[in-house]
């Protein structure tokens, strides 16, 4: 009986309405949101300590940098970096990896659920009639003008392709490039480090992928604000009955 109840809650049928989101999608979305903010803030804190990027296996202050960020690590709010709670990188690393665990676990639950429950097939895989240049043009124009987005019940082509790209390309690659920096994980999978062109290349790629993800979040939040913040937030928070 308890199992039946859990199955009811977790696998409640997904209707064509984009608003009727299953509980598991809503829960993992918000755990993931918190984790992503943890990752972004701590990632920036870690980069502040050494804001130089290299290509290849190794790189340091004595080797030419590919590029550097125009930030000054030693002083923050007028205080030397190391005096702030024992250093930015130490605290930053703690927050980064703890957030990464929550992001990875909630992300995995979401992806497995999305595959088993047809959530991806119904909501994210483009429908047959969306796959034409004409409808792509319409979707892009709608996005830019923000005119018809309000009325839409399900995701249009631009949204579907973006979400698929973020879920199945950007996040997995960001995770793998993070793994490629770990001395112990690369001892088990040396090919991972080689595939990214070395540990320092992996760090540089990780930075660009993370920046793209941050850009996605900015646009994502912007679209929510522009298409009715309250309604969109309710649809990601409350179940169908509560609405």
CB nearer another protein, residue 99 or residue 235? 99
Distance in Å, CB of 2 to another protein, minimum: 5
Q: How many whole angstroms separate alpha carbon 75 and alpha carbon 67?
A: 21
**Beta carbons within 8 Å of 59's beta carbon, 6+ residues apart:** 52, 53, 65, 200
- Count other Cβ atoms within 10 Å, centred on residue 59: 21
Give CA torsion, residues 114, 3, 29, 228, to 10 deg. 90
- Count other Cβ atoms within 10 Å, centred on residue 171: 20
Footprint of another protein on 98-117 (CB under 8 A)? 98-101
Q: Would you call 161 helix, strand, or coil by DSSP?
A: helix
CB nearer another protein, residue 96 or residue 143? 96
Distance in Å, CB of 61 to another protein, minimum: 5
Distance in Å, CB of 201 to another protein, minimum: 11
Footprint of another protein on 150-209 (CB under 8 A)? 181-188, 190, 193, 199-200, 203
Distance in Å, CB of 57 to another protein, minimum: 6
Distance in Å, CB of 183 to another protein, minimum: 5
CB nearer another protein, residue 29 or residue 91? 91
CB-based contact 155:18 (threshold 8 Å):
yes
CB nearer another protein, residue 151 or residue 188? 188
Distance in Å, CB of 3 to another protein, minimum: 9
| Sequence-ordered strand ranges (E) for the chain | 52-53, 67-68, 75-76, 79-80
Footprint of another protein on 30-69 (CB under 8 A)? 46-47, 49-50, 52, 57-63
Contacts of residues 165-169 at CB distance under 8 Å and 24 or more positions apart, as own/partner, are 166/213, 166/216, 167/111, 167/124
CB nearer another protein, residue 97 or residue 163? 97
Which of 32, 47, 92 lies closest to 216, judged by CA?
32
Which x/- pattern, by CB under 8 A, does the window 78-97 give for another protein?
-------xxx-xxx-xxx-x
CB nearer another protein, residue 117 or residue 186? 186
Q: How many whole angstroms separate alpha carbon 155 and alpha carbon 139?
A: 10
Contacts to another protein by CB under 8 A: 1-2, 5-6, 46-47, 49-50, 52, 57-63, 85-87, 89-91, 93-95, 97-101, 181-188, 190, 193, 199-200, 203
């Amino acid at each position: 009986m308890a199992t039946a109840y859990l199955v009811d809650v977790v696998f409640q049928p997904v209707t064509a309405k984009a608003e009727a989101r299953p509980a598991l999608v809503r829960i993992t979305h918000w755990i993931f949101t918190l984790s992503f903010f943890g990752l972004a803030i701590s990632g920036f804190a870690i980069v502040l300590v050494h804001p130089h990027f290299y290509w290849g296996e190794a790189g340091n202050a004595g080797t030419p940098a590919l590029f550097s960020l125009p930030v000054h690590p030693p002083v923050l709010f007028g205080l030397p970096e190391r005096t702030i709670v024992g250093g930015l990188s130490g605290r930053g690393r703690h927050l980064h990896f703890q957030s990464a665990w929550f992001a990875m676990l909630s992300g995995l639950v979401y992806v497995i659920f999305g595959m088993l429950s047809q959530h991806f097939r119904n909501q994210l895989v483009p429908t047959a009639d969306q796959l034409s240049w004409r409808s792509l043009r319409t979707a892009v124009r709608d996005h830019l003008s923000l005119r018809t987005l309000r009325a839409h019940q399900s995701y249009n082509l631009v949204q579907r392709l973006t979400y698929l790209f973020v879920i199945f390309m950007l996040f997995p690659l960001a995770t793998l490039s993070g793994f490629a920096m770990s001395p112990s994980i690369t001892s088990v999978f040396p090919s991972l480090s080689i595939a990214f062109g070395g540990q320092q290349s992996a760090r540089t790629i990780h930075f660009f992928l993370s920046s793209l993800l941050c850009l996605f979040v900015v646009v994502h939040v912007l679209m929510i604000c522009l298409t009715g913040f309250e309604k969109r937030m309710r649809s990601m928070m409350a179940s169908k009955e509560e609405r």
